[in-house]
Amino acid sequence: MSKLRLLARAVAVYILTVLALGALLFLPAGTLHYPGGQRLMALLLIPMLVLGVVLFFRAPALLEKRLNSREKEAVQAGVIAASALMFLLAFVLAGLDFRFGLTHVPDWLTYLACALLLVSYALYAEVMRENAYLSRTVEVQENQRVVDTGLYGVVRHPMYAVTLVLFLSMPLVLGSWLSLAVLLAYPFIIAARIRDEERVLIKGLPGYAEYTQRVRWRLIPFLW
């Protein structure tokens, strides 16, 4: 893909993300003056823009991979669909929660969640720095090798571990316990993705089976 086409695609995806997230949060809230929604938009979209710019200039091939979300594996396509439904419900419920004052998250917990979200985003960027093969789809790429250093020496799927913290902090940033209840489905959804992904990698990526013996934990150290 040419740099111009990559830029156009990245900009289009970013604009669609802004519009979709804003609609899912502020339309149910019935107002643009939704502090939780404003916080989440800023904490997610500003780092996303910075990361996208960095990738465009320093790792355009990785940016192209991250923009590709068409899954070939049937199990993974189901995981993506379940995730999309989960986030749709979580964001809409958060807006309705604010609109009708159904639940309340303490301020200190909201601030803690904001900090966790930013830390997890920084770790997200670090994982991408460590692994240039990070496609959004489950596949074995040409000349791919096993990455087993850095965060990959702690757990086999650090990207998913980071998103676990990132996504579970979002409803607290939004100030909604109802939204958190929906997003608690995420660990189970991502566990299904990991199991199927490891099946593909063990079958198609030389050295991955041995890697699973060296690094025992898939997602959370000492737990799973």
pTM for this one?
A: 0.89
In whole angstroms, what is the distance from residue 31 CA to residue 86 CA? 23
pLDDT digits (tens, 9 = 90+) for 136-155: 555 555 567 888 888 999 99
Domain count, the chain: 1
In this predicted structure, the answer to whether residue 132 has a pLDDT above a threshold of 60 is yes
In whole angstroms, what is the distance from residue 162 CA to residue 59 CA? 21
Q: In which domain, by residue range, is 87 found?
A: 3-214
Given this model, what pLDDT does residue 113 score? 97
CATH of the domain at 192: 1.20.120.1630
In whole angstroms, what is the distance from residue 120 CA to residue 129 CA? 14
Is residue 173 very low, low, confident or very high in pLDDT (cuts 50, 70, 90)?
very high
Phi, psi angles (nearest 5°) of residue 222? 70, 5
10 Å CB burial of residue 79 (0-12, 13-18, 19+) is buried
Mean pLDDT for 20-41 is 97
Mean pLDDT for 73-98 is 89
Q: Is residue 192 part of a domain?
A: yes
Locate 170 and state its tokens.
């979002």
Residue predicted with more confidence, 70 or 2: 2
Q: Is residue 223 part of a domain?
A: no
User: Letter for the amino acid at 96?
Assistant: L
pLDDT digits (tens, 9 = 90+) for 38-81: 999 999 999 999 988 988 888 888 788 777 766 666 667 788 88
Q: How many other C-beta atoms are found inside a 10 Å radius of the C-beta of residue 108?
A: 8
Q: Is residue 222 part of a domain?
A: no
Q: Is residue 193 part of a domain?
A: yes
Q: Is residue 185 part of a domain?
A: yes
In whole angstroms, what is the distance from residue 94 CA to residue 40 CA? 11
State which of 48-62, 151-165, 196-210 shows the largest mean pLDDT: 151-165
